[in-house]
Amino acid sequence: MPIWAQMVELDRVIVVVNDGVILQSDLASATKSLTANAKKSGQELPEQEVLNEQIIDKLVMEKLQLQEADRIGVRIDDGRLEGAINDIADSNEQTIEQLRETVAQEGLSWEAFREQVRDEIAVSEARNAMVRQRINILPAEVDNLAEILAQETNATVTYNVRHIQLRFSGSEEKDALEQQAKDIVARLNAGEDFATMAYTYSKGPKALEGGNWGWLRKEEMPTIFADQIKMQTKGSIIGPFRSGVGFHILKIDDVKGLETVSVTEVNARHILIKPTVILSDDGVKRQLNNIISKIQSGEGSFADFAEQYSEDPGSAAQEGELGYQTPELYVPEFKHQVETLPIGQISAPFKTVHGWHIVEVLDRRDVDKTGSAMQNRAYRILFNRKFNEEASAWLQEIRASAFIEHIVDEENQ
């Protein structure tokens, strides 16, 4: 008596993307997740054929970006992954167990969800690394936007202003008057009293009041004052600057309505070594650990080894030193190290998209950045605009240069 086995449909390739593939099961999983989310939010979806086309297009772009991540060596370890999953649970106001239940309800296994999150992080890092190097922001662009933002902000800010004016006269050379103004600024910066200097030297309208103009909004000030005051903070000395009548020096005695911004800057130094066809990741780690041992045993200094071995030419020429920077300027793994390392301690070797590093934090300092806050805000706005534009262009380029073939299921034709 013949035994008939039940036929089971095997997973099949639906799209070839370079040297990778998208499977029918990938489409089914993405469709199930999208349908569940749409149902939860009450969103109506298009007909299945259109939906499949949209999902396949998204899967193709994700695959291309994952291939780019692999090409440039992005690796997301389990520690980083667990941190991201904890963040997802926190943002959903769930425990990890509750998140597991939600994932199961959407028809995903926990392992599949973990790998999905890992892929999303890798794609994000690859995109950031590749797009950042395409962005060029001119100083003039930042200045122009910062000026517009400052005008909006300054509408509600009032300044307590003092003023010294050195007046041109027929008997006095302009160069000599400018030098006198610079000397006065130097003395003020050294701690001399502004009011006393105004009584002594100023020829301005408030000289006998110690140069004190009182509280003014920018719209109430003389134009020559308003043009010089940007986002300076309490205690700032401005000038000397020139007008048709002479040279001027301002002091901001106090400010109301201006939100102050303080940031922590880190001065760190590092050694970067990049893996090669000959030198593996493990080989690089051994080399860096060997350098750490030699530094600790006194066989050489961090500066010496940075100059000799570091493959970051800019910092290697400075004995590995990166100067005072805000940690946000660095890629995530490097940012984590400079934020958490105790001063004077050398990190274990760690990997970023640039290669393998060891880093030592030399110093930290809190800096009043109110004066440059508007410049930073302007830069962030411009960066985000250009990032989105360049990210779209980058995606178009990697798609245009890719081999993509849709596999037709002849049995279902």
Q: Which of 256, 288, 309 is the last residue of a domain?
A: 256
- Res 106 pLDDT > 80: no
- Cα angle 253-256-261, degrees, rounded to a multiple of 5: 90
Looking at the domain assignment, is residue 412 inside a domain? no
Q: Which band of pLDDT confidence, cut at 50, 70 and 90, is reported for residue 7?
A: very low
Asked whether residue 381 is domain-assigned, the answer is: no
Please report, for residues 155, 187, 220, the alpha-carbon distance to residue 217 in angstroms, rounded to integers and kept in the order given. Answer: 7, 28, 5
Say if residues 225 and 158 touch (Cβ distance below 8 Å).
no
**CATH code (residue 328):** 3.10.50.40
Domain assignment present for 310: yes
- Tokens coding 73: 């060596």
Range of the domain at 266: 262-368
pLDDT at residue 280, as a whole number: 92
Same domain, 241 and 299: no
Radius of gyration in angstroms for the set of CA atoms belonging to the chain, rounded to a whole number: 31
pLDDT tens for 160-197 read: 999 999 988 765 578 889 999 999 999 999 999 999 99
Mean predicted lDDT score pLDDT of the chain: 87
Average of per-residue pLDDT across 242-253: 92
Q: Report the CATH number at residue 23.
A: 1.10.4030.10
Of 256, 291, 321, which marks where a domain is finished? 256
pLDDT value of residue 172: 58
Choosing from 256, 288, 319, the residue where a domain stops is 256
Same-domain status, 111 and 24: yes
Asked if 113 and 103 touch (Cβ cutoff 8 Å), the reply is yes
Percent of the chain at pLDDT > 90 equals 53
162 and 251, same domain (yes or no): yes
Q: With a cut of 80, say whether residue 223 has pLDDT above it.
A: yes
pLDDT digits (tens, 9 = 90+) for 53-87: 999 999 999 999 999 999 998 889 888 899 999 99
Candidate from 28-42, 209-223, 328-342 with smallest mean pLDDT:
28-42
- pLDDT at position 10 is 63
Q: What is the pLDDT of residue 259?
A: 62
Cα separations in angstroms, 68 against 61, 73, 202, 273, 337: 11, 9, 65, 21, 25
Residue 8 pLDDT: 46
Residue 234 and residue 337 in one domain = no
Residues 241 and 280 in one domain: no
Q: Are residues 17 and 87 in the same domain?
A: yes
**Position 352 in a domain:** yes
Give a yes or no: residue 401 inside a domain.
no
Q: How many domains does the chain have?
A: 3
Residues 17 and 116 in one domain: yes
Residue pointed to by tokens 């593939």: 21
Residues in the chain, overall count: 413
Residue-level pLDDT at 171: 58
Same domain, 195 and 292: no
130 inside domain: yes
In a domain, 109, yes or no: yes
Lowest mean pLDDT, pick from 349-363, 366-380, 383-397: 366-380
Give the pLDDT of residue 368.
Answer: 67
SS (H, E, C) the chain: CCCCCCCCCCCCEEEEECCEEEEHHHHHHHHHHHHHHHHHHCCCCCCHHHHHHHHHHHHHHHHHHHHHHHHCCCCCCHHHHHHHHHHHHHHCCCCHHHHHHHHHHCCCCHHHHHHHHHHHHHHHHHHHHHHHCCCCCCHHHHHHHHHHHHHHHHCCCEEEEEEEEEECCCCCCHHHHHHHHHHHHHHHHCCCCHHHHHHHHCCCCCHHHCCEEEEEEHHHCCHHHHHHCCCCCCCCEEEEEECCCEEEEEEEEEEECCCCCEEEEEEEEEEEECCCCCCCHHHHHHHHHHHHHHHHHCCCCHHHHHHHHCCCHHHHCCCCEEEEECHHHCCHHHHHHHHHCCCCCECCCEEECCEEEEEEEEEEEEEECHHHHHHHHHHHHHHHHHHHHHHHHHHHHHHHCCCEEECCCHHHC
The reported pLDDT for the residue numbered 155 is: 63
Give the span between the Cα atoms of 281 and 51, in whole angstroms.
42
Positive or negative CA dihedral for 342, 344, 349, 354?
positive
Task: For residues 120 and 166, state if they share a domain.
Answer: no
Read off the pTM: 0.49
Q: In this structure, is residue 152 part of a structural domain?
A: no
Place of tokens 């370890």: 77
> Rounded CA gap, 293 and 311, in Å?
20
**232 and 282 assigned to the same domain:** no
User: What integer pLDDT is reported at residue 261 of this predicted model?
Assistant: 63
Q: Is it the case that residue 371 has pLDDT exceeding 60?
A: no
The β-bridge partners of 367 are: 263
**Residues 38 and 94 reside in one and the same domain:** yes
Domain shared by 164 and 213, yes or no: yes
